[in-house]
Amino acid sequence: MVLGRGMRLLTGALVVACVVLVGHSARGGDPSARSLPVEAVRDVVPNRVMTWNICNPCEESNVDRAAEIATYAPQVIGLQEACVRDVESIRDHLEDLHGLVYHVEYGTVLRNWGRCGGTPWSPGAYGQAILSAAPMTDVVNVEYPDGGSEDRGYMAVTTLVGGQRLRVFNTHLAERRQEAVRADQTGVLAAAVARHERAIVLGDFNAVPDAPELTRIWALAADTDPQCRPSLTGNCKPTTDWQSKFDYIFLRGVVPLERRVHPTPYSDHHLLQTDLDTT
Confidence (pTM): 0.84
Please give the C-alpha separations between residue 40 and each of 90, 95, 99, 104, 151, in angstroms, as whole numbers. 17, 9, 5, 17, 37
Distance CA 279, CA 269 (A): 30
Does the pLDDT value for residue 42 go beyond 60?
A: no
* Burial label, 58 (beta-carbon count in 10 A; 0-12, 13-18, 19+): exposed
Look at residue 18 in the predicted model and tell me its pLDDT: 39
Average pLDDT over residues 212-237: 92
Nearest residue to 161 via CA among 107, 118, 224: 224
What is the C-alpha to C-alpha distance for residues 190 and 30, in angstroms, rounded to an integer?
45
pLDDT tens column, 1-35: 444 444 444 444 443 343 333 333 333 333 333 34
Question: What digits encode the pLDDT tens for the residues 139-193?
Answer: 999 999 999 999 999 999 999 999 999 999 999 999 988 999 999 999 999 999 9
